[in-house]
């Protein structure tokens, strides 16, 4: 039998603004999942939080996108949101964009990362949960884990990794994806995923046998709802060891607190700070963006663990650097590059400001109107002109 690991998250309400999930909502979701386990719908589960996001980690044998499993998650979120409303928590039910479940939580608001595999004799996995950022925040670390030999020594010295990995890159605007091979197409991969607001690493496969290696949630709430309803706060699952990158190689990719989009009102760049579970509460300017990592062993579809992967003084310097970066970038206030660019501000007050001022803009005599730049997506077919 194949085991499926499903990580499904949603912001259903939190204490003191967008800070932390209330224990009563965690208890409510735990009760729903315990009932599903007793009925045999899921084999095991772990309920936790990343900042103000309720996180459901489940194992079962029903495959990816199982209506039964997704209905369990939806019920857990709906029941937890009901408790959040009773407690008067902030943004109760925020990520639940529909009242009706239609067989799958995709497109309804929650973020989903799922993978199915035959268990190895020892099956370690790492589950990453981010708060105050977007799915593209995982682009850089996923590239480093699976394509950068300066990060992952196994790409050079492990025969099972040496053949490289296949990246599925998803275009969130067009709703389509492309499979690209590393290392041969490394530069083309980087050309896409260097624009994390549009192109997201969705899945990664080991090229030796096409075995699933990692999966990232790709839901963009603003694109689903047509308005800003909170940042997407992605989750990811990565398999480790014995033919995959070691846990230490996976975590090394997060030792650099790279800049990600999100933070306050989802409209600012800030450093992604890897923290232990106890520090998973975003306070300074509703941040900085946080990352929680939990390690499990999967055995007979059961979860052994977790280990709090970032609860280690080895990451203290990373956190200190993140705070220094936060100090620096905050001094920009409402100016770019701290504030996101206009293409990312489409769901904020910026369109209203432009609408209010449209009749006050005056044409400047002799000024030329520049064509709006457009990203050319057919990178592979473009011919390089002589002299470029």
**What is the DSSP code (8-state) at residue 107?**
T
Asked about 228 being catalytic, the answer comes back as: yes
Greatest Cα-to-Cα distance within the chain, rounded to the nearest angstrom: 74
Out of 11, 52, 131, 233, the active site residue is 11
Catalytic residue among 90, 228, 279, 347: 228
- Set 9, 78, 132, 231: catalytic member: 231
Alpha-carbon dihedral angle through residues 305, 309, 310, 313, given to the nearest 10 degrees: 100
- Rounded to whole angstroms, the Cα distance separating 321 from 213 reads 30
Count H helices, E strands: the chain? 10, 15
* Contact (Cβ atoms closer than 8 angstroms) between residue 123 and residue 304: no
Q: Is 188 a catalytic residue?
A: no
Q: How many CA atoms lie within 13 A of 346 on its CB side?
A: 9
Strands 273-274 and 290-299: parallel
Residues whose CB falls within 8 Å of the CB of residue 290, separated by 6 or more in sequence, listed in order: 50, 51, 130, 131, 132, 272, 273, 274, 275, 279, 280, 281, 282
Catalytic residue numbers?
Answer: 11, 228, 231
């Amino acid at each position: 039998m194949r085991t499926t690991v499903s990580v499904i998250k949603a912001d259903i309400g939190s204490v003191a603004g967008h800070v932390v999930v209330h224990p009563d909502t965690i208890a409510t979701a735990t009760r729903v999942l315990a009932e599903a386990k007793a009925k045999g719908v899921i084999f095991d589960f772990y309920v936790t939080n990343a900042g103000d996001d309720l996180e459901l980690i489940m194992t079962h044998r029903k495959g990816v996108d199982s209506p039964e499993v997704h209905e369990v998650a939806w019920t857990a979120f709906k029941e937890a949101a009901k408790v959040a409303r009773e407690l008067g928590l902030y943004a109760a039910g925020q990520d639940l964009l529909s009242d009706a479940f239609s067989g799958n939580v995709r497109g309804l608001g929650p973020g989903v990362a799922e993978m199915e595999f035959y268990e190895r004799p020892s099956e370690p996995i790492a589950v990453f949960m981010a708060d105050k950022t977007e799915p593209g925040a995982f682009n850089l670390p996923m590239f480093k884990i699976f394509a950068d030999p300066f990060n992952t020594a196994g790409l050079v010295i492990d025969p099972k990794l040496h053949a490289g990995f296949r990246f599925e890159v998803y275009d969130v605007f067009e709703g389509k994806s492309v499979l690209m091979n590393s290392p041969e197409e490394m530069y083309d991969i980087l050309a896409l995923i260097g624009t994390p607001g549009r192109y997201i690493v969705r899945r990664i496969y080991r090229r030796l046998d096409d075995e699933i290696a990692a999966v990232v949630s790709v839901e963009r709430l603003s694109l689903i709802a047509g308005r800003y309803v909170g940042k997407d706060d992605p989750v990811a699952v990565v398999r480790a060891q014995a033919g995959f990158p070691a846990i230490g190689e996976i975590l090394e990719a997060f030792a650099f607190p790279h800049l990600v989009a999100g933070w306050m009102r989802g409209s600012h760049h800030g450093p992604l700070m890897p923290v232990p579970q106890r520090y998973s509460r975003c306070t300074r300017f509703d941040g900085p963006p946080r990352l929680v990592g939990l390690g499990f062993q999967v055995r007979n579809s059961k979860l052994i663990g977790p280990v709090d992967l970032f609860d280690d003084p080895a990451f203290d310097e990373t956190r200190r650097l993140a705070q220094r970066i936060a100090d620096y970038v905050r001094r920009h206030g409402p100016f770019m590059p701290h504030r996101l660019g206009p293409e990312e501000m489409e769901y904020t007050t910026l369109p209203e400001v432009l609408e209010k001022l449209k009749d006050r803009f005056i044409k400047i005599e002799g000024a030329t109107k520049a064509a709006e730049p457009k990203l050319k997506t057919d990178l592979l077919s473009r011919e390089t002109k002589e002299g470029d």
